[in-house]
Amino acid sequence: MIRALHMRLLYSLALLPSALLLALAGSAVAVDVQDDEQFVPILIYRTGPFAAGGSGIMGGFEDYMSLLNERDGGLDGVKLVWEECETAYNTDRGIECYERLKNKGKYGAPVMHPLSTGITYALIERATRDKIPIVSLGYGRTDATDGTVFPYIFPLITNYWSQSTAKIRYIASREGGEDKLKGLKIVNLHLKHPYGIETIPILDVMAEKFGFEVTHLPVPWPGIDQKSLWLLIKRIKPDWVINRNWGVSCTVPLREAARIGFSREKILGVWWCGSEEDVVPAGKAAIGYISTNFHGVGRDFPVIQDILEHVYGKMMGNISSTRVGSVYYNRGIIFGIVTMEAMRLAHTKYGNRPIGGQEMQWALENLDITESRIEEIGATGLISPLKTSWRDHEGGGKVLIQQWNGTKWVRISDWIEPYADLVRDMIKKSAAKYAKDKGITPRTKPEEGI
């Protein structure tokens, strides 16, 4: 007995400090950033139910930076370096990653992409205090579009409410005009989850404006069993179903729809339900399914061809090459383009050197990615033009519609404008509530740079 105790102690006591030592050694040899290098933090999740999204998007982002390093020798001559931190899609791990990476490099982290709505929420206060912009591209907090209340939060390109209005515009175009919306039945199949319920108010507002009938059907988390909802849908007989889910709950509706014979072409997914990973598990049931997106799909863009040549050609790819051109991957390229364009803008004001958080905030508020600039990047059709201001942190990006043909996503629409005025009012109201709860006085003018 005594001996056994002895051994147990020995094991455990030896293990604990060695784990600590290993960790310390680890932190010592982690990516070393030189003073003249631009550091970019990467928050990523490669495990868990949403791993496909995390690894795909950040893989694309890293590849875009590799492209600039390999082809152009960095961004305006400044070499890009980055460090990954695994958040496991877990809020407190995300905060730890943020705190771990925020002071790297001479000027600190210029920007953070939290890649999870929960982490975005938890970083709002911290990032505003630390003056590090949070870019939540296509996710995160919709009312943060109001730059007067959220100076450091950027839900760039397009937020969920804009997207929802664009969906209705698309449905109108398919039905033959806005007046045809009257009397239409639309089901909003949404995850019973903060992310899922966010678009209920905007859909209600539009239902009233255009006279269609919207039924909100909540999918109980985690959404692996949606049978009762599809029985309800069968009963309601809607004209359209909006699929607002995430992860596996995006896939389940497709099979259920096939079973009750509901046309997949009338299921319109949110862009987080529009990747290869969402439809492949549904097999044939997914053919014809359409979803929104805010960027192009496939490999037929000069910038992606360049990546294949300069990055994968040198065996420098950050992800399995089969995923290049997939939806999540291309989304990562968009993350890269937007971030790098903002940095380029900051270079024009502060010189060609690494950029810090405050400088980046100025750049993100004055971003203007024009059609001709997009062509220079080699991303025509991949990304829509974008122009932000200190009030508008979204940039008025547009949405497109894509359809799954059984092997790949095919773009089937032009860029679609959201109903910006509708969204604007609601954002103002929601942001005002935030300002009141937090005791914040909204800005009345942009900050004077540094």
Distances (CA, A) of 208 to 120, 204, 213, 272, 407: 31, 6, 8, 26, 38
| Residue selected from 32, 34, 48, 309 as contacting another protein according to rule CB under 8 A | 48
Tokens encoding 64: 């875009």
46 belongs to the binding site for another protein (CB under 8 A):
yes
- Give the Cα-Cα-Cα angle 419, 422, 428 (nearest 5 degrees): 130
| Residue selected from 34, 71, 72, 221 as contacting another protein according to rule CB under 8 A | 221
27 belongs to the binding site for another protein (CB under 8 A):
yes
Judged by CB, which is closer to another protein: 142, or 292?
Answer: 142
CB of 448 to another protein, least distance (A): 24
Q: Which positions from 66 through 105 interact with another protein, judged by CB under 8 A? A: 83-86, 88, 90-93, 95-96, 98-100, 103
317 belongs to the binding site for another protein (CB under 8 A):
yes
Handedness of CA 99, 105, 111, 114 (dihedral sign): negative
Q: Which of 402, 363, 398 is nearest to 384 (CA)?
A: 398
Kindly give the residue spans of alpha helices, DSSP state H, lying in 102-226: 117-130, 160-175, 194-197, 200-210
CB of 28 to another protein, least distance (A): 8
Judged by CB, which is closer to another protein: 140, or 147?
Answer: 140
CB of 313 to another protein, least distance (A): 14
CB of 387 closer than 8 Å to CB of 368:
yes
Say if residue 222 is preceded by a cis peptide, omega within 30 of 0.
yes
312 belongs to the binding site for another protein (CB under 8 A):
no
CB of 351 to another protein, least distance (A): 28
- Per CB under 8 A, the segment of 170-178, 192-200, 262-270, 331-339 that binds another protein is 192-200
8 belongs to the binding site for another protein (CB under 8 A):
yes
Tokens encoding 25: 């050694």
| Residue selected from 36, 79, 106, 121 as contacting another protein according to rule CB under 8 A | 121
CA distance 116 to 137: 10
Judged by CB, which is closer to another protein: 46, or 79?
Answer: 46
Helix (H) / strand (E) element for 77: namely none
Residue 423's CB is within 10 A of a number of other CB atoms, namely 25
Judged by CB, which is closer to another protein: 373, or 443?
Answer: 443
| Residue selected from 113, 167, 169, 193 as contacting another protein according to rule CB under 8 A | 193
Tokens encoding 368: 């203007």
CB of 352 to another protein, least distance (A): 27
6 belongs to the binding site for another protein (CB under 8 A):
yes
CB of 434 to another protein, least distance (A): 5
Kindly give the residue spans of alpha helices, DSSP state H, lying in 83-159: 91-101, 117-130
| Residue selected from 69, 164, 293, 430 as contacting another protein according to rule CB under 8 A | 430
Site size with another protein, rule: CB under 8 A: 98
442: DSSP letter: P
CA distance 394 to 391: 9
CA distance 71 to 67: 6
Residue 75's contacts (CB-CB under 8 Å, 6 or more residues apart) are 38, 68, 340, 343, 344, 347
Helix (H) / strand (E) element for 16: namely helix 2-29
9 belongs to the binding site for another protein (CB under 8 A):
yes
Judged by CB, which is closer to another protein: 34, or 103?
Answer: 103
| Residue selected from 183, 208, 433, 450 as contacting another protein according to rule CB under 8 A | 433
Judged by CB, which is closer to another protein: 151, or 342?
Answer: 151
CB of 172 to another protein, least distance (A): 24
Judged by CB, which is closer to another protein: 135, or 363?
Answer: 135
416: DSSP letter: B
| Residue selected from 19, 410, 412, 450 as contacting another protein according to rule CB under 8 A | 19
CA distance 204 to 215: 9
| Residue selected from 75, 156, 252, 399 as contacting another protein according to rule CB under 8 A | 252
CA distance 199 to 302: 35
- Per CB under 8 A, the segment of 15-23, 162-170, 291-299, 388-396 that binds another protein is 15-23
- Per CB under 8 A, the segment of 219-227, 289-297, 337-345, 387-395 that binds another protein is 219-227
Burial of 128: CB neighbours in 10 Å, binned 0-12, 13-18, 19+: middle
Q: Which positions from 125 through 154 interact with another protein, judged by CB under 8 A? A: 125-126, 129, 141
CA distance 266 to 186: 10
